[in-house]
Amino acid sequence: MPSRRDLANAIRVLSMDAVQQANSGHPGAPMGMADIAEVLWRDFLKHNPANPNWADRDRFVLSNGHGSMLLYSLLHLSGYELSLDDLKNFRQLHAKTPGHPEYGYAPGVETTTGPLGQGITNAVGFALAEKVLGAQFNRDGHEIVDHYTYAFLGDGCLMEGISHEACSLAGTLGLGKLVAIYDDNGISIDGDVEGWFTDDTPGRFEAYGWHVVRGVDGHDAEAVKKAIEEARSVTDKPSLICARTVIGFGAPNKQGGHDVHGAPLGGDEIAAAREHLGWNHGPFEVPADIYSEWDAKAKGESAEAEWNKVMDAYRAAYPDLAAEFERRIAGELVEDFDARAQALVEEAQAAMEKVATRKASEKALNGFGPFMPELLGGSADLTGSNNTWWKGCTLMSPSEPGANYISYGVREFGMAAIMNGVALHGGFIPYGGTFLVFSDYARNALRMAAIMKQRSIFVLTHDSIGLGEDGPTHQPVEHVPSLRIIPNMSVWRPCDVTETMAAWRSALSRNDGPTSLALTRQGLAPQERSAEQVANIAKGGYVLSDCDGEPDAIIIATGSEVQIAMDAKAKLSDKNIRVVSMPSTDVFEKQDAAYRESVLPSHVLARVAVEAAHVDYWYKYVGLDGRIVGMSTFGESAPAGQLFEYFDITADAVVAAVEDCLPE
């Protein structure tokens, strides 16, 4: 029978062979962590290669995602649909095995990792979701949610500030089923980390409220097993296992140095490694007895079958809860969602209230929340400003684990990446609030939500100079345009309660990506609409106010500037002016050509866009013959009304722009 070291060596040789064949990659971490991975995956990890989406599987996150061949080797050896040819195709175009783990490319990859620190933060989200979901659905003798989240991480993850945000919160919330294993190999790209990373990492995590297992030899399987058992025995705190490893373990001339971190070993060193490891097999060759020991399919199918028995008993005892659990895990909305959502939009239009769109967002949550228990909200210490708390909210804590609202503290980046982990786990639609200007702090997690096509909803308030006296540090100028250019990010900037309700409906309905809601601090007047216009809000852009006959000019506006556009039209009563409200450009651009042409007829060249944001984005709509009323500088500190006057974002400025682009 193969020894544990033989089984770990299978990871080492597959990793070094794949990196060598690709002539690109990171062999050091997979070779260094192979012994730890063998123990975790074979002795502890609850998973089923035949059903990678089994709801109660343990989640495994490779936060140090540059070591992707470690994960790909584990998936292949365990029996997932990831072939030897897939490993040979490492880092090639359209491969299931890209350079960093990418969610959706290969079965068993739980999240996209690569930007260091986000993987461990996603893992906090997974563990948070498990804790809340379990508290909401488990009943005495019927624990249908009972799994762990395991994460591997390295020095780079710990140096990134997001790891502080997330791990601090994980300790506070007592996420006892989160086990992180720190690959303490002392090496990063620039060399020995002692020159730039001398933190007392165990002390740091103990200060967070984690259980810490210190000084584990990462190449001693029994020591690793004992450490994991200890971590699993502590149920009221997350655990960090500090495992000392040798990077590139098994490559006799390069192990322990930065040369094995991010470059192929080379043919000579690979030959030396094979000899050193006693691996007498060719490239990508794994003996049958090692495959047999690694194969997790029978064990996984048995584990899932046992869970299915638990689920059957739960279904018999609590049929309504079981149906609700299955709906939420499947990511399906309630059957009558469309009808209820339409009613909320129509009610908002009938009410004709003048409120800030951040307040309109709260109204939306109070409308959707009662029939959407999957909503898991929060804010980065701005709940009262973001209006993310609705009447049915309860605050999650170790003593209230089944609540539906998270106080993330001043942790915008951590919040966004935790939300992505929650979304990936399943069972929830996470939303979280901060000021729009601070989306910069969270931007890479917003980008990751878009890459992974996750339904995370970012509530971004105080959306322009309209927030007033806080000044340019808090007044977003470039932020809405910059969010719009993130592929697969849907961005809504509504102009009143009705558009805000429609924006929430769109965000909740969308199951293939995130949504950013840019919302005002200041009150906005409601707009009159016909039933057809109300329906057309869902198309992202529509004719809010038309004219008799062909328009002489079109004014395009979003958010708080829609009223400015309407005021400008009133001042241009001697001309045929069409006003287009464009709350979501990306949704509008997904409409068919005929609809887009009906809203913005191509022969009307006199166009003016008005938005209290950077002007450059709008050239795609107004062209060289049009004009843009907006911002090209940072803001100032003053009351909102003065700022709109000072920066000349006014009805008179729009009138002048229209007149300027009309032919003589």
- Given pLDDT bands bounded at 50, 70 and 90, which one contains residue 632? very high
Calpha distance 416→410 (Å, rounded):
12
Residues 598 and 493 in one domain: no
Same domain, 482 and 551: no
Going by DSSP bridges, is the β-strand pair 149-153/59-62 parallel, antiparallel, or unpaired? parallel
Strand 211-217 relative to strand 191-192, pairing: unpaired
What is the spatial distance between Cα 164 and Cα 414, in angstroms, rounded to a whole number? 8
Instruction: Please state the rounded mean pLDDT for residues 160-184.
Output: 98
Domain boundary among 487, 518, 549: 518
Does 438 have pLDDT greater than 90? yes
Query: Domain check: are 210 and 282 in the same one?
Result: yes
Token digits of residue 366: 């109070």
Which residues touch 574 (CB under 8 Å, ≥6 apart)? none
In this prediction, residue 637 carries a pLDDT of 98
Sheet holding 515-519, edge to edge: 405-407, 375-379, 429-435, 457-461, 515-519, 490-492
Q: Does the annotation flag 67 for ligand binding? A: no
Q: Does the annotation place 114 within a ligand binding site?
A: yes
Q: Is residue 604 part of a domain?
A: yes
Same domain, yes or no: 509 and 542: no
> CB of 432 within 8 A of CB of 402?
no
26 belongs to an annotated ligand binding site: yes
Q: Give the range of the structural domain holding residue 48, as residue numbers without chain letter.
A: 4-301
| DSSP per-residue letters across 80-96 | -S--HHHHHTTTSTT-S
Please report the pLDDT score of residue 454 as a whole number: 98
Residue that terminates a domain, selected from 255, 279, 301: 301
**Phi, psi (degrees; rounded to nearest 5) at 265:** -70, -30
Tokens linked to 613: 């944001």
Residue 458 among known ligand-binding residues: no
Q: What is the pLDDT of residue 663?
A: 86
Res. 5 pLDDT band, cuts 50 70 90: very high
DSSP class of residue 41? I
Could you read off the pLDDT of 328-343 as tens digits, one per residue?
A: 999 999 999 999 999 9
Domain identity same for 180 and 274: yes
- CATH number for the domain that contains residue 206: 3.40.50.970
Domain of 629, CATH number, reads 3.40.50.920
Cα separation, 290 vs 286, whole angstroms: 7
> Counting beta carbons within 10 angstroms of the beta carbon of residue 117, is it exposed (0 to 12), middle (13 to 18) or buried (19 or more)?
buried
Q: Are residues 623 and 654 in the same domain?
A: yes
User: Could you tell me if 42 and 129 lie in one domain?
Assistant: yes
User: Is the alpha carbon torsion for 415, 416, 420, 426 positive or negative?
Assistant: positive
Q: Is residue 310 part of a domain?
A: no
Residue 260 falls inside a structural domain: yes
Residue-wise pLDDT for 543-600, tens only, equals: 999 999 999 999 999 999 999 999 999 999 999 999 999 999 999 999 999 999 999 9
Nearest to 379 by CA among 517, 203, 493: 517
For the chain, the distance separating the N- and C-terminal CA atoms, rounded to the nearest angstrom, is 90
**In-domain check, residue 316:** no
Kindly tell me if the per-residue pLDDT of 625 is higher than 90.
no
Does 385 appear as a known binding residue? Answer: yes
For the stretch 130-164, pLDDT in tens is 999 999 999 999 999 999 999 999 999 999 999 99
Is there a contact between 3 and 36 (Cβ–Cβ < 8 Å)?
no
CB atoms within 10 A of CB 81: 14
Q: How far apart are CA 436 and CA 421, in angstroms?
A: 21
d(CA 642, CA 649): 10
Residue 624: the pLDDT is 87
Name the domain count of the chain: 3
Catalytically active residues, by annotation? 412
Based on the domain organization, do 261 and 217 belong to the same domain?
yes
385-402 core/surface letters (b: 16 or more CB in 10 A; e: else): bbbbbbeebeebeeeebe
pTM score, whole prediction:
0.98
Residues 588 and 545: their CA atoms lie apart, in Å, by 17
Give mean pLDDT, residues 299-312: 98
CA-closest candidate to residue 416, choices 147, 121, 14? 121
Residue 328 lies in a domain: no
- Do 476 and 340 share a structural domain? yes
Q: Looking at the domain assignment, is residue 330 inside a domain?
A: no
CA distance 624 to 102: 40
Query: pLDDT digits over 23-48, tens only?
Result: 999 999 999 999 999 999 999 999 99
Answer yes or no: is 87 within a domain. Answer: yes
Single-letter residue type at 528: E
Q: Same structural domain for residues 350 and 266?
A: no
Question: Which tens digit of pLDDT belongs to each residue from 208-266?
Answer: 999 999 999 999 999 999 999 999 999 999 999 999 999 999 999 999 999 999 999 99
Half-sphere exposure of 231 (CA within 13 A, CB side): 30
Please say whether the beta carbons of 14 and 69 come within 8 A.
yes
State which H helix or E strand residue 545 sits in.
strand 542-545
261 belongs to an annotated ligand binding site? yes
**Residue that is written with structure tokens 């690569």 in the block:** 114
Q: Which amino acid is at 210?
A: W
Tokens at 644, concatenated: 């709109």
Please count the other Cβ atoms lying within 10 Å of the Cβ belonging to residue 589. 11
419 pLDDT tier (thresholds 50, 70, 90) = very high
545 and 513: one domain? no
Domain final residue pick, 275, 301, 327: 301
86: how many CB neighbours lie within 10 A of its CB? 20
Is residue 115 part of an annotated ligand binding site?
yes
The model's pLDDT over 364-406, given as tens digits with 9 standing for 90+, comes to 999 999 999 999 999 999 999 999 999 999 999 999 999 999 9
The tokens for 536 are 């057309």
Name the strand (E) or helix (H) holding 35.
helix 28-39
3-state secondary structure of 114: coil
Give me the residue label for tokens 């309660």.
Answer: 497
Q: Given this model, what pLDDT does residue 155 score?
A: 97
Whether 98 and 207 share a structural domain: yes
Q: What is the pLDDT of residue 13?
A: 98
Who's near 286: CB < 8 A, 6+ residues apart?
10, 13, 14, 77
Q: Considering the domain boundaries, does residue 321 fall inside one?
A: no
Q: CA-based Rg of the chain, rounded to a whole angstrom?
A: 27
Mean pLDDT rounded to a whole number for the chain: 98
